[in-house]
Structure 1
Amino acid sequence: MAAACTRLLGQIGRHALLTQSCSTGNLTALPPRISRLGGVRAYGTGGTGYRSKLFNSPPLRFGGRTLGCAFLLGGGFGLYQTIKFTFQRQFADQTTDAPEREPALTLYQYKTCPFCSKVRAFLDYSGLPYQIVEVNPVIRQEIKWSKYRKVPILMVDDTVQLNDSSVIISTLKTFLVSKEKTIPQILICYPEMKSTNDRGKEVIEYNNKYWVMLSESEGDQLYQEKGSRKEEMKWRQWADDWLVHLISPNVYRTPSESLASFDYIVREGKFGTFEGFFAKYVGALAMFLISKRLKRRHNLQDDVRQDLYTAVNDWVSAIGKTRKFMGGEQPNLADLAVFGVLRVMEGLQSFDDMMENTKVKYWYRRMERAVQHKGQN
């Protein structure tokens, strides 16, 4: 409508200016009236052929040029308003399509837990802001409100609870890639399943937890290399089912290493004075003994370092010599999972031995830079 009005005003202004090309002192020399020009259409409320008085009335002496300029100015203003409205509407459409605000995330964790470290690595690399609640590992007062008594737990907007590190990562990755789904809608894709393990203990597992729930087109965009999706899932599961079980036997390998590990845990964790003392000395002895049982359960060698070295070198070999990361130029979810697990050994003898006796050093340093850079952004 605004565009039609603009065209009409422009035509009126143009014809009014044409009128002034004749002598204003001799009305008989005026050209035919605007109403007789075939290219002009008259608008009004009358029936067919109705002409507005504006078109049929004689022009004002000495006022035609002024009137024409006025109509041209009016037409220009109408054109300006039309363009302005168009841009405003386009901007409004873009605003409507813009992603919603980032969810408010709160991570309940133990800092030295490898599963919690995996989640932090993903959040930092993805640039997602989050708050940390350090849980007391003895009384776990901070998660008393939850029926799920393990960490990590991620709360989204204080309303949606995500459990299990791999479920948390897959859910958030799906959310970041596919803006059409909400986190509660995505979470339905990872149903909770209860079962009994080989020791007769009831455990909770989550179906599909290594699968990022994307449409076919979204999946093709994210996983452009053939087989890269299956490769990522395979090594994410490997990190959970194998690599993580090598940590405790290595960091508690000897009484001195066990004591050093618990000194680090007490310093970084949330303990009271008595709890810290108890955890450091009694816990160190207990975990030294437990590590021997874990070594038998997972069929590890007497020198558990060799299993750690073999596992880490297998990971580096899977990446190959032509890729910086398993994800190519950028880390994928498998890179972040393995990095998160290995990171909990930093500052301990087992970590120093691993860096010295395996080929993981260069990949690990690249991961440090990648995760730190993204996290700062």
Structure 2
Amino acid sequence: MAAACARSFSKVGWSLLESPLVRRPGTGFYLSGNAGARVSGRGYGTGSGLGLRSRLLSSLRAGGGRVLGCAFLLGGGLGLYQTVKFSAQQHLAEEHCKVQGDGLKLVLYQYKTCPFCSKVRAVLDYYGLPYEIVEVNPVMRKELKWSTYRKVPILMVDSDVQMNDSSVIISCLKTYLINKKKSMPELIRCYPEMKSVNDRGKEVTEYNNKYWLMLSEEDNELVYPEKGMQKEERKWRQWADDWLVHLISPNVYRTSGEALASFDYIVREGKFGNFEGFFAKYVGAAAMFIISKRLKSRHNLQDDVRQDLYKACNDWVAAIGKKRKFMGGDEPNLADLAVFGVLRVMEGLQAFDDMMENTKVKHWYRRMETATLNHEGRK
């Protein structure tokens, strides 16, 4: 559109330059030749008295319409300049985006309200990595029929590399962004699966090294310039997985009313059919209200589970301290992004409002919100 307007200005300019001004008795001047647009003196003084417009045209007689033509050419030139400038900026932005994502095609299979999926989204958003989302139906999970791994999140890279487990995904992505010498398939092999049976007799899959970045000593010093930073990041990433995430369900399903409100949100944001949505909202809310009581017992939570949530948030803020904006310093690290991703799934629910009102986490949370929304990790 801008280019078309610029070209039009230029054409008019050349027409004016090539078309002499001809006096028409009693009216002033009109453009002859291709311009052909009559210049009327109406409203500016006509007849024997020269109005403002007539005086202006008289001043242009010496050079014909060349001054006016130059003005149009100048406008067209400026328009073309702005068009080229905009196109160049757009091209640079696209190239920058390609550099950040390095041309990777990323597809995230998720439940929107899953805290582990939210962690991965926080990292992708913060670093400005383009990605597609496939919302998985939590009842049928037909979107995952192609995979033997039936949990979310799953991140597919270039349609042929499958990455499982939120912490492995995050560590792989961060390692790749820092040093692209190794491909994604090579990096995934650094986080081998380890199957075991838990105390309830259920087979579980764990991943070795999942909180580690696979960096050279030189890169490691650049990412963690101060002593203890790497250890601190790993500690709090694991804390988010092993403790903080287990506080979410007992708090959002704390009462029957909160359980119903939570499932109303889940159904609204998730991928459910009409019958599935109705079933999930009412039967699911009742079931999770009961299950949340068992979770409270399993994880040794207080009767008032809000107190555990409040303490966790205040412990997190205390670990950051008063001199740092984020645990990573002036910029979020992977622990910041993990904790933010977990807490974010409660937004819009009573538990979130209570947390923001009764803990010291609010200012840090808002800074994280801004950093993620603005893709500040691109720099």
- TM-score for both structures, normalised by structure 2: 0.73
1:133-144 to 2 correspondences below 5 Å: 133-144=134-145
Instruction: For 2:134 and 2:232, locate their aligned partners in 1 and report how far apart those are by CA, in whole Å.
Output: 33
In structure 2, do the counterparts of structure 1 residues 99 and 179 end up closer, same or farther at CA, with 3 Å as the change threshold? farther
What is residue 150 of structure 2 aligned with on the other side?
A: 149
In structure 2, do the counterparts of structure 1 residues 286 and 223 end up closer, same or farther at CA, with 3 Å as the change threshold? same
What is residue 235 of structure 1 aligned with on the other side?
A: 236
1:85-100 to 2 correspondences below 5 Å: none
How many residues of Structure 1 are paired with residues of Structure 2 in the alignment? 280
1:343-354 to 2 correspondences below 5 Å: 343-354=344-355
* Maintained 8 Å contact 2:106/2:130: yes
Structure 2: which amino acid aligns with 1:257? E
What is residue 173 of structure 2 aligned with on the other side?
A: 172
User: Post-superposition shift, 1:179?
Assistant: 1.5
Instruction: For 2:369 and 2:326, locate their aligned partners in 1 and report how far apart those are by CA, in whole Å.
Output: 12
SS at match of 1:323: coil
What is residue 103 of structure 2 aligned with on the other side?
A: 102
In structure 2, do the counterparts of structure 1 residues 100 and 345 end up closer, same or farther at CA, with 3 Å as the change threshold? closer
What is residue 32 of structure 1 aligned with on the other side?
A: none
Structure 2: which amino acid aligns with 1:155? M
Instruction: For 2:334 and 2:117, locate their aligned partners in 1 and report how far apart those are by CA, in whole Å.
Output: 14
Gap runs ≥5 in structure 2: 1-98
Deviations 1:315-338 (A, max 9, x none): 000000000000000000000000
- TM-score for both structures, normalised by structure 1: 0.73
Deviations 1:316-370 (A, max 9, x none): 0000000000000000000000000000000000000000000000000000000
Structure 2: which amino acid aligns with 1:157? D
User: Post-superposition shift, 1:257?
Assistant: 0.1
* Maintained 8 Å contact 2:100/2:129: no
Structure 1: which amino acid aligns with 2:296? K
* Maintained 8 Å contact 1:99/1:179: no
Instruction: For 1:143 and 1:248, locate their aligned partners in 2 and report how far apart those are by CA, in whole Å.
Output: 24
Structure 2: which amino acid aligns with 1:233? R
* Maintained 8 Å contact 2:136/2:271: yes
What is residue 200 of structure 1 aligned with on the other side?
A: 201
Instruction: For 2:308 and 2:167, locate their aligned partners in 1 and report how far apart those are by CA, in whole Å.
Output: 24
Structure 1: which 4+ aligned runs deviate by more than 6 Å? none
Instruction: For 1:191 and 1:116, locate their aligned partners in 2 and report how far apart those are by CA, in whole Å.
Output: 21
Gap runs ≥5 in structure 1: 1-97
* Maintained 8 Å contact 1:128/1:375: no
In structure 2, do the counterparts of structure 1 residues 312 and 376 end up closer, same or farther at CA, with 3 Å as the change threshold? closer
* Maintained 8 Å contact 1:118/1:336: yes
* Maintained 8 Å contact 2:126/2:374: yes
Instruction: For 2:250 and 2:363, locate their aligned partners in 1 and report how far apart those are by CA, in whole Å.
Output: 25
1:212-291 to 2 correspondences below 5 Å: 212-291=213-292
CA RMSD of superposed structures (Å) = 1.3
Instruction: For 1:158 and 1:116, locate their aligned partners in 2 and report how far apart those are by CA, in whole Å.
Output: 19
Instruction: For 1:99 and 1:185, locate their aligned partners in 2 and report how far apart those are by CA, in whole Å.
Output: 19
User: Post-superposition shift, 1:102?
Assistant: 2.2
* Maintained 8 Å contact 2:127/2:377: no
* Maintained 8 Å contact 1:126/1:375: yes
* Maintained 8 Å contact 1:123/1:375: no
User: Post-superposition shift, 1:225?
Assistant: 1.3
In structure 2, do the counterparts of structure 1 residues 100 and 284 end up closer, same or farther at CA, with 3 Å as the change threshold? closer
Instruction: For 2:340 and 2:368, locate their aligned partners in 1 and report how far apart those are by CA, in whole Å.
Output: 7
SS at match of 1:136: coil
Instruction: For 2:191 and 2:107, locate their aligned partners in 1 and report how far apart those are by CA, in whole Å.
Output: 20
In structure 2, do the counterparts of structure 1 residues 259 and 144 end up closer, same or farther at CA, with 3 Å as the change threshold? same
Structure 2: which amino acid aligns with 1:287? M
What is residue 311 of structure 1 aligned with on the other side?
A: 312
User: Post-superposition shift, 1:101?
Assistant: 3.4
Structure 1: which amino acid aligns with 2:366? R
What is residue 89 of structure 1 aligned with on the other side?
A: none
Instruction: For 2:100 and 2:330, locate their aligned partners in 1 and report how far apart those are by CA, in whole Å.
Output: 26
* Maintained 8 Å contact 2:196/2:204: yes
Identity of aligned residues (%): 77
Instruction: For 1:144 and 1:312, locate their aligned partners in 2 and report how far apart those are by CA, in whole Å.
Output: 38
SS at match of 1:162: strand
In structure 2, do the counterparts of structure 1 residues 99 and 259 end up closer, same or farther at CA, with 3 Å as the change threshold? closer
Structure 2: which amino acid aligns with 1:366? R
Report which of the two structures shows the higher radius of gyration computed on alpha carbons.
1
Instruction: For 1:112 and 1:99, locate their aligned partners in 2 and report how far apart those are by CA, in whole Å.
Output: 27
